[in-house]
Structure 1
């Protein structure tokens, strides 16, 4: 498993990471999947305090016990569950982040978080306070680096220009290419993209026909999804798959450091790993993918 630098840091993270949100709460199966990921060379594990009311962080912490020096732990903050656990509110305040980081450290059973991400953001936020808090956490040794998880252009530009973020998590895949607008900016500032949603909710896997919906996907109608996927399939040889095309296209961009790919179990994990190691795309295929798929820009939050 190849690794790439996270931003301008010395951290090297695996090109395929494990997005832990999909693991569920069956502890033994989840821990087994995490261990299989480590054995396959994955060292980047991405969770959030929001997932399963913190249970996800607890499972990740148990799974990584005794293997802390082999992994890079990423988690997120900013979404605050209410007392009934039936909704959450957005809270990027210093007071809440200082409280939440200690809860995450406890659940993860670690003294520090490698990569702490603001789990969203709006233009109305008191961003100076948030940035000050993250920088303070670094000085205190509770986190090593920080970033944001956002697709809002105004939020992204604000943090790129006024903070020391090392990465931006964004939904990015062949059928959702809007993040490419920001790649030159990220490369200029040595900021990494952590890509989520690489297989477009299964539309870019062998099960794509079952995943088609009359709602379409992003800016694609159902028929446009169908037509585009058939064109993508026409680019492949017998040693490639739609799944491998999906992962390898996203990784063809040097702004991307890792794909936080979700897996509910070891079977799904191995599907992702096999797709990653399949025959690589060539430059002509990558150019054809760009011609076949839509390249649009974010229209809101500018």
Structure 2
């Protein structure tokens, strides 16, 4: 395995945005969605991340219905000046565990930020994302309400998640957007249809979530329904079960081949590919792989120092087009559903 050496290089999130390590940490799985959690191990991982140069920590009010923000609060309090804190609003839940709604209206934006500030125990959020877009609400209202939070000192910078290139341009015209967060990996490249080019044009940083294909690209599991616990939401993602999973597992052969060549892990190759999108597309890229274990965190960080050769990149290029199954059972929540 390629070992962790020095701390991460830094990059700017948007024009005039905060400087962060070129790899962040997604904190969702520390509270929900990926089976049983281990709070002491998760807290150790947070500290290991900071030691390794990770400074962007990503959460959302929907993760654990606020529990993830509460979980992060002591860590944030201990290291407030050394981290960039990102959280998100717009995903609505209720007593039905299967329900997911999307709200972007002004009243919801304002109520959501107050809840996040309280749970995180802070006076200001460094990067505040709209988690999902409700196309029925104009950006003048939703991003306009977010801009009010900047003027009031409750939020420093704005972000969007899962929007198309046209939507990013429209929102950016209302208020500068520092970062766009969407799924981007060897398995998921629909953002390259329009969002990546728009982000590069506008100077918006790209923050890929699930850069490890929710663990599938690492080889951690081959069939979610057979190997993962009943409360793991990956059991409901089409590409990770049944015939789709079997077909997709076969696509990992070149990832493993390159890993053997470089003395690295498949996870590091998948992350190195994402990190290298910065040079390919001419924009800042700060992936936020999620992990609950300090040793995996260090493994992920080491990937930022791997440079894949043109021949290796060529081996990886065809993978996404061959992936079987969508990334969600309901793709209406994603930017891919709104691409023209």
TM category, shorter: 0.7 to 0.9
Are 2:300 and 1:272 equivalent residues in the alignment?
A: yes
- 2:137 corresponds, among 108, 117, 125, to 125
Moved more, 19-28 or 174-183: 19-28
- 1:234 corresponds, among 257, 267, 271, to 257
TM-score for both structures, normalised by structure 2? 0.78
Q: Which residue pairs with 1:243 in the alignment?
A: 267
Alpha-carbon distance, 1:56 to partner: 0.8
From the two aligned structures, give the one with the greater helix fraction.
2
Are 2:63 and 1:51 equivalent residues in the alignment?
A: yes
Compared with structure 1, are the counterparts of its residues 42 and 292 closer, same or farther at alpha carbon in structure 2 (3 Å cutoff)?
Answer: same
Are 2:312 and 1:285 equivalent residues in the alignment?
A: yes
Q: Which residue pairs with 2:112 in the alignment?
A: 100
Inter-partner Cα distance in structure 2 for 1:203 and 1:83: 30
Inter-partner Cα distance in structure 2 for 1:180 and 1:85: 32
Compared with structure 1, are the counterparts of its residues 68 and 123 closer, same or farther at alpha carbon in structure 2 (3 Å cutoff)?
Answer: same
Moved more, 133-142 or 95-104: 95-104
Inter-partner Cα distance in structure 1 for 2:238 and 2:17: 43
Contact 1:5/1:257 (CA < 8 Å) preserved in 2?
A: no
Inter-partner Cα distance in structure 2 for 1:8 and 1:164: 9
Kindly tell me the number of residue pairs found equivalent between the two proteins: 300
Alpha-carbon distance, 1:187 to partner: 0.8
Contact 1:203/1:212 (CA < 8 Å) preserved in 2?
A: no
Alpha-carbon distance, 1:57 to partner: 0.7
Inter-partner Cα distance in structure 2 for 1:90 and 1:222: 29
Q: Which residue pairs with 1:60 in the alignment?
A: 72
Any residues of structure 2 matched to 1:1-302 within 5 Å, and which? 1-24=8-31, 27-82=39-94, 87-152=99-164, 155-181=167-193, 182-207=195-220, 209=222, 215-216=238-239, 221-236=244-259, 237-254=261-278, 255-277=283-305, 279-294=306-321, 298=336, 300-302=338-340
Inter-partner Cα distance in structure 1 for 2:138 and 2:211: 31
Secondary structure class of the residue paired with 1:49: coil
RMSD: 2.9
* 1:157-213 superposed Cα distances (whole Å, 9 cap, x missing partner): 532454421111111101111112232221111011110111112221143546698
TM-score for both structures, normalised by structure 1? 0.87
Secondary structure class of the residue paired with 2:314: helix
Q: Give unmatched runs, 5+ long, in structure 1.
A: none
Alpha-carbon distance, 1:146 to partner: 0.4
From the two aligned structures, give the one with the greater strand fraction.
1
Contact 2:275/2:286 (CA < 8 Å) preserved in 1?
A: yes
Moved more, 79-88 or 258-267: 79-88
Moved more, 222-231 or 186-195: 222-231
Q: Give unmatched runs, 5+ long, in structure 2.
A: 1-7, 32-36, 227-236, 324-334
Alpha-carbon distance, 1:45 to partner: 0.3
Inter-partner Cα distance in structure 1 for 2:313 and 2:120: 39
